[in-house]
Structure 1
Amino acid sequence: MRLRMFKPVVMALAVMGASTPALANDFSKLGTTLTPIGAEKAGNAAGTIPEWKGGISKPPAGFDPNKGYLDPFASDKPIVTITAANMEQHKDKLAPGQMEMLKRYPTYKMNVYPTHRTAAYRPDVYKFAKEEAPGIKLAEGGNGILNLKKSNVPFPIPTEGVQVIWNHIMRDLGGSITRHSADFPVQTNGSFTVGKRTETISFAAYMDDPEPNRIFYYMNQTTAPANAAGEVALVHEPLDQVKEPRLAWQYNPGQRRVIRAPELAYDSPGIGADGLRTNDDFNGFNGSPDRYNWKLVGKKEMYVAYNNYKLTSKDLKYSDIIKTNHVNQDLVRYELHRVWVVEATLKPGARHIYSKRVFFIDEDSWSVLHADQYDARGGLWRVREVFGVQLYDAPTFGPAGEVMYDLQARRYLVNALTNEEKPMEFGKKYTTADFSTAALRRMGR
């Protein structure tokens, strides 16, 4: 029975030329042959992916958050630069969206550097992942998690696509984080308007008084441009979404009142995105997975944006990053990493603007690093890149920024840049009162 269950995944891995992951639920491998959260600890046979040796869990000497992240790999040089001219030689390590960007824009390139497996989390993340994994189950239809208490990695040895997606949704962000960031809808001529926000997210397991059935609490305050400043959104994200859907509210400064906002989900337009992303696009993917069938294609070696310390530099202005057609690719660092490939296909009768989405998820951090998204006719529509970086002061793995390229509109959207903003704050203790509708109203005012 077990061989029949796992055969499709093993075949997919063989086809993709990837190493075979641990497919049986032998949780004793966590921290031995696997990392504490389920990645293959060993490097690859070619030696181009090294062994994971714990990542970077402490800031280097001289780190000052007000000056940005020190780059541990500043002396590295590219080992290859991929362009439209040579991409066929590397296509087995590229996503369709990356190849389309290379073909479409002559100035788009990918500078590939030596691989460093820097992802690391707090000791509690490792502890709870191993302790709780044997008892954690999917809710009906995969639309939630049962028996989870404090783990940020419910399925460290996944056997289903939706389990990989839940690992991404649940991954630790330092317990809590407050991020001051900027967003940029970029027009075809390279012009843009800056939007700014302050976001706070606290995981329920990190709080002393969480409500039942909660993953996290999230508050988003828009601070620019002037015509949107003062808008605030609040989300309570359920753990079992069969039992309870996402709870969301908005404060409208014009009306000076708090209203329920069930539309802050799925494919409704994202706040400040100028129609260039959906709400569930944000952070790679978020929210309920219930509108898609999730297929675990397997694992492959792929060039992904990784260790992007250069993009966090406080010496950069946003105009240094935002360019016509795409971001400044001289600032983006790519490395070869193993990623899980998960394909989401819209369920019959379900509604969403994307008919199919393919996610490429880092094995070391469970972060979505790339996504290709298809329209109703099956055409490649939007290409998402997350510029991964190890935020060693938390420690957590997060984005130095995110970008969504709309191939049809020939515009793009950049999220989560922090170069000209205050430093991120990790690990502050919050209570449920900090994420109440009363708090939402006070913040709006």
Structure 2
Amino acid sequence: MKSSKIKQLAVSLAVLGSGLAMQAHAADFSKLGASLTPVGAEKAGNAEGTIPEWKGGISKPPAGFSPSKGYLDPFASEKPILTISAANMAEHKDKLAPGQMEMMKRYPTYKMNVYPTQRTAAFRADVYKYAKDEAANIKLAEGGNGIVNLKKSNVPFPIPTEGVQVIWNHIMRDLGGSITRHSADFPVQTNGSFTVGKRTETISYASYMDDPEPNRIFYYLNQTTAPANAAGEVALVHEPLDQVKEPRLAWQYNPGQRRVIRAPELAYDSPGIGADGLRTNDDFNAYNGAPDRYNWKLVGKKEMYVGYNNYKLTSKALKYGDIVKPNHMNPDHLRYELHRVWVVEGTLKPGARHIYSKRVFYVDEDSWAILHGDQYDARGGLWRVREVFGVQLYDAPTFGPAGEVIYDLQARRYLVNALTNEEKPIEFGKKYSTADFSTAALRRMGR
């Protein structure tokens, strides 16, 4: 008995020592830019050679690029190396998410065309500099609902040890310092019909501004320009770093009332604007806002087929009717690749309220962007499947969405976001001040 206890203690100490060793390894920030990329991904490829080494990504536009003509596809000549459908998904299930497989089961026309993996993600030099300079000092605030000692970094936890740290990396990731995006989003009915909604969004990161207020991640303006019955609505958000300490500050301009009103409901699981009940406010951009209602478990890292280098989806030659089809997006315009992703599982805290009881996110190691999400209802059933079709926006440079979709398995409808095919070019890097994101500015936009 005594010998058994001694052996048990020895095993416990060995496990503890192993855990401490892993933490010590994780805290070695000298690896950033060496064996790890500047933002914390494994620089090396995988043993099979199906994921290549990261060699800097694509940080400059190719010759002949013109924003008005859309993004040139560096991989236009490549052909799919694999097509996954319901017929062969069992052979690839270790590299698929439950939501992807469920879509294949339900819709015989849903398939994934897999192309050679290209690790294109790259960011501005400042993003790399601050990620390394600040990493050793940045900590989670109590409860994980904020960040302490962050100054300029967009990658607060390049070597994460907790699930909530990965979520913060996604929330904080850089989109070019500032971005103005003209995009289309619309609910799609079961027969494939839709009415296009259009918006102009401007985001400026506090770290990119000369006069940001304390406790800010970014400032956000959203102006609805179509359809006609919604045109003129404008939303303004000041996004706090710690939303438990200071809840999200939001306002709306209502063109019917011709006045600005506070809008505290633009958060958590309240219905998203123009989404016909198909997404919550914190569904936007795959996930946004305070992480405080969930316990976030870091499941680990895996290789997975995800939407990547979707230059074809950005083509100005495509019309929205080419992309949107009954039941799901047209798979012939979508590109999937094998990449390493962090898997994070969020479980609703006891006593907390949200329509999703569980959310599982698959986060690209090279960009910290969520590229897939499976979201579950109160009974634990798979409800909504989120796909993000990532693309390297080399004129910023940053990694962002060529388009996003949420499939509602219960309603049998889906919501498309962030398409830009028929819109004006994205604008990056403009300098803004806090005055540009004031309620007075909101009122002027509404008029």
Q: Shift of residue 139 of structure 1? A: 1.0
| One-letter amino acid matched to 1:380 | L
For the residues of structure 1 that align with 2:306 and 2:20, how far apart are their CA atoms? 25
The total of aligned residue pairs comes to 435
For the residues of structure 2 that align with 1:49 and 1:57, how far apart are their CA atoms? 20
Q: Is contact 1:369-1:387 (8 Å) kept?
A: yes
For the residues of structure 2 that align with 1:31 and 1:204, how far apart are their CA atoms? 25
Q: After the TM superposition, which residues 154-233 of structure 1 pair with which residues of structure 2 at under 5 Å, given as runs?
A: 154-233=156-235
- Of 339, 342, 349, 2:341 maps to 339
Q: Shift of residue 387 of structure 1? A: 0.4
Structure 1 length normalisation: TM-score? 0.96
Q: Is contact 2:234-2:253 (8 Å) kept?
A: yes
Cα gap change, 1:263 to 1:326, in 2 (>3 Å)? same
| Cross-structure match for 1:401 | 403
> SS of the counterpart of 2:26?
coil
Q: Shift of residue 127 of structure 1? A: 0.2
1:77 lines up with 2:89 in the alignment: no
For the residues of structure 2 that align with 1:277 and 1:298, how far apart are their CA atoms? 27
> SS of the counterpart of 1:382?
strand
* Identity across the alignment (%): 87
Q: Shift of residue 420 of structure 1? A: 0.2
| One-letter amino acid matched to 2:110 | Y
| Cross-structure match for 2:254 | 252
Cα gap change, 1:89 to 1:242, in 2 (>3 Å)? same
Q: Is contact 2:224-2:230 (8 Å) kept?
A: yes
Cα gap change, 1:125 to 1:22, in 2 (>3 Å)? farther
> SS of the counterpart of 1:131?
helix
| One-letter amino acid matched to 2:45 | G
| Cross-structure match for 1:278 | 280
1:287 lines up with 2:299 in the alignment: no
Moved over 4 A (4+): 5-10
| Cross-structure match for 1:141 | 143
Q: Is contact 2:210-2:433 (8 Å) kept?
A: yes
For the residues of structure 2 that align with 1:141 and 1:227, how far apart are their CA atoms? 43
- Of 280, 300, 303, 2:302 maps to 300
> SS of the counterpart of 2:135?
helix
- Of 93, 107, 110, 1:108 maps to 110
Q: Is contact 2:242-2:290 (8 Å) kept?
A: no
Q: Is contact 1:22-1:157 (8 Å) kept?
A: no
* Residue-by-residue CA offset, 1:268-322 (whole Å, 9 max, x unaligned): 0001000000000010100000000000000000000000000000000000000
For the residues of structure 2 that align with 1:91 and 1:301, how far apart are their CA atoms? 11
For the residues of structure 2 that align with 1:240 and 1:148, how far apart are their CA atoms? 12
For the residues of structure 1 that align with 2:286 and 2:244, how far apart are their CA atoms? 22
Once superposed, what is the RMSD of the aligned Cα atoms? 1.5
Q: Shift of residue 142 of structure 1? A: 0.5
| Cross-structure match for 1:392 | 394
Cα gap change, 1:4 to 1:22, in 2 (>3 Å)? closer
| One-letter amino acid matched to 1:341 | V
Structure 2 length normalisation: TM-score? 0.96
| One-letter amino acid matched to 2:144 | G
> SS of the counterpart of 2:229?
coil
> SS of the counterpart of 1:135?
coil
Q: Is contact 1:9-1:296 (8 Å) kept?
A: no
Cα gap change, 1:238 to 1:244, in 2 (>3 Å)? same
| Cross-structure match for 2:50 | 48
| One-letter amino acid matched to 1:240 | D
Cα gap change, 1:253 to 1:23, in 2 (>3 Å)? farther
Q: Is contact 1:179-1:200 (8 Å) kept?
A: yes
Q: Shift of residue 239 of structure 1? A: 1.2
> SS of the counterpart of 1:377?
coil
Q: Shift of residue 24 of structure 1? A: 2.1
For the residues of structure 2 that align with 1:311 and 1:54, how far apart are their CA atoms? 23
Q: Shift of residue 241 of structure 1? A: 2.3
For the residues of structure 2 that align with 1:259 and 1:123, how far apart are their CA atoms? 39
Cα gap change, 1:135 to 1:47, in 2 (>3 Å)? same
Gaps of 5+ in 1: 11-20
| One-letter amino acid matched to 1:218 | Y
Q: After the TM superposition, which residues 293-442 of structure 1 pair with which residues of structure 2 at under 5 Å, given as runs?
A: 293-442=295-444
Cα gap change, 1:2 to 1:221, in 2 (>3 Å)? farther
| Cross-structure match for 2:245 | 243
Larger radius of gyration: 2
Cα gap change, 1:236 to 1:180, in 2 (>3 Å)? same
Q: Is contact 1:23-1:159 (8 Å) kept?
A: no
Q: Is contact 1:82-1:111 (8 Å) kept?
A: yes
| One-letter amino acid matched to 1:162 | V
Q: Is contact 2:223-2:232 (8 Å) kept?
A: yes
Q: Is contact 1:55-1:119 (8 Å) kept?
A: yes
For the residues of structure 2 that align with 1:251 and 1:38, how far apart are their CA atoms? 40
Q: Shift of residue 23 of structure 1? A: 5.0
| One-letter amino acid matched to 2:313 | L
Cα gap change, 1:5 to 1:124, in 2 (>3 Å)? farther
For the residues of structure 1 that align with 2:404 and 2:440, how far apart are their CA atoms? 31
Cα gap change, 1:327 to 1:188, in 2 (>3 Å)? same
Q: Is contact 1:9-1:297 (8 Å) kept?
A: no
Gaps of 5+ in 2: 1-12
Q: Shift of residue 6 of structure 1? A: 7.1
Q: Shift of residue 172 of structure 1? A: 0.3
Q: After the TM superposition, which residues 1-150 of structure 1 pair with which residues of structure 2 at under 5 Å, given as runs?
A: 4=16, 7=19, 23-150=25-152
Cα gap change, 1:63 to 1:240, in 2 (>3 Å)? same
For the residues of structure 1 that align with 2:314 and 2:211, how far apart are their CA atoms? 34
| Cross-structure match for 1:15 | none
> SS of the counterpart of 1:354?
coil
Q: Shift of residue 382 of structure 1? A: 0.2
| One-letter amino acid matched to 1:74 | A
* Residue-by-residue CA offset, 1:15-55 (whole Å, 9 max, x unaligned): xxxxxx99520000000000000000000000000000000
For the residues of structure 1 that align with 2:231 and 2:20, how far apart are their CA atoms? 50
> SS of the counterpart of 1:134?
coil
Q: Is contact 2:373-2:386 (8 Å) kept?
A: yes
* Residue-by-residue CA offset, 1:364-404 (whole Å, 9 max, x unaligned): 00000000000000000000000000000000000001000
For the residues of structure 1 that align with 2:118 and 2:20, how far apart are their CA atoms? 31
Q: Shift of residue 182 of structure 1? A: 0.3
> SS of the counterpart of 1:280?
helix
Q: Shift of residue 240 of structure 1? A: 2.2
